[in-house]
Amino acid sequence: MTKPVILTGDRPTGKLHIGHYVGSLKNRVLLQEQGQHQLYVFLADQQALTDHAKDPQTIVESIGNVALDYLAAGLDPAKSTIFIQSQIPELAELSMYYMNLVSLARLERNPTVKTEIAQKGFGESIPTGFLVYPIAQAADITAFKANFVPVGNDQKPMIEQTREIVRSFNHTYQTDVLVEPEGIYPENESAGRLPGLDGNAKMSKSLGNGIYLADDMDTLQKKVMSMYTDSNHIRVEDPGQIEGNMVFYYLDVFGRPEDVADIQAMKDHYQQGGLGDVKTKRYLLEILERELGPIRERRLEFAQDMGQVYEMLKKGSQVAQAVAAETLDQVKEAMGIRYF
């Protein structure tokens, strides 16, 4: 029996922050360890280039960094296939055929693409490659016949568009070669999108409000000590607020079941007054370090031999390419364009 396939990917545009880790990467490692699925995880460098065409260096450097983050978090090339999108030319070829099945109006309606176009300020100069990236994403997903795609909620429109392409292709060419994928979304919205240290809804490189898997102990400590808590909690004896307090938000996300009682006691004390921010932050630092310390150590170990990291990516890409080539073959066969 072949296992159901799970596929996910990330745009490599920097190191991974802990919001990405709790919202996504950690879950992939769990799925890997459960061993019920065939897992593919890839670095979507081509997709990243759709809005970084003039800055390929950022993407190139991020490949090594994100690969290190993956390995450090526990993705294991012996169990999962880890690969680089641009090294699989079959994905681009599949995209060409899918493009004929999607109208321009449909692409322009994609809500995530719409939001991104506004954010990035493309104006009248939207790169064509950017507009069609949901089609390329459908190629990523279908090339591996993914049954499940665990992604953030912002990716729902991409999964929906992929499903439409699959139905359209299978219907048009009277075939069942393409598999309709299902999205898996974070149930816990608070873990799905961890706010920044400053309380901003989004943790991001440009806002400088993130903690990274690559951060050393000192950096982690400084960042935790700088976290936004409650601007009215001035003296220790003042009653403090939990809502909007990043220390308690992070405690809820990173605390384990055995910590719940301690966290609750701390919340009660804080709300009554008499508990200072330094104490709550020290506790959070402990909780974070318990999770991030081992990851940081493994990251440093892997980083000592980048040659080996790239060798791992090369092997993963070779395995992935063989799978994608088979799907492409079936796609061409279904379309009747295999001439020889």
Which stretches of the chain bind ligand TRP, using CB under 6 A? 7-11, 44, 47, 137, 140-141, 149, 151, 155, 158
CB of 152 to ligand TRP, least distance (A): 7
Q: Report whether 204 belongs to an annotated binding site.
A: yes
Closer to ligand TRP at the Cβ: 44 or 275?
A: 44
Q: Report whether 255 belongs to an annotated binding site.
A: no
Q: Report whether 12 belongs to an annotated binding site.
A: yes
CB of 10 to ligand TRP, least distance (A): 5
DSSP of 92-154, one letter per residue? HHHHHHHHTTS-HHHHHH-HHHHHHHHHHT-TT---HHHHTHHHHHHHHHHHTT-SEEE--GG
Closer to ligand TRP at the Cβ: 10 or 180?
A: 10
Closer to ligand TRP at the Cβ: 15 or 223?
A: 15
Q: Report whether 11 belongs to an annotated binding site.
A: yes
CB of 8 to ligand TRP, least distance (A): 5
Closer to ligand TRP at the Cβ: 110 or 245?
A: 110
Q: Report whether 13 belongs to an annotated binding site.
A: yes
Q: Report whether 49 belongs to an annotated binding site.
A: no
Closer to ligand TRP at the Cβ: 10 or 230?
A: 10
CB of 63 to ligand TRP, least distance (A): 14
CB of 236 to ligand TRP, least distance (A): 42
Q: Report whether 95 belongs to an annotated binding site.
A: no
CB of 48 to ligand TRP, least distance (A): 8
Residues forming the annotated binding site? Answer: 11-13, 19-20, 140, 152-154, 194, 202-206
Residues forming the annotated binding site for ATP? Answer: 11-13, 19-20, 152-154, 194, 202-206
Residues forming the annotated binding site for L-tryptophan? Answer: 140
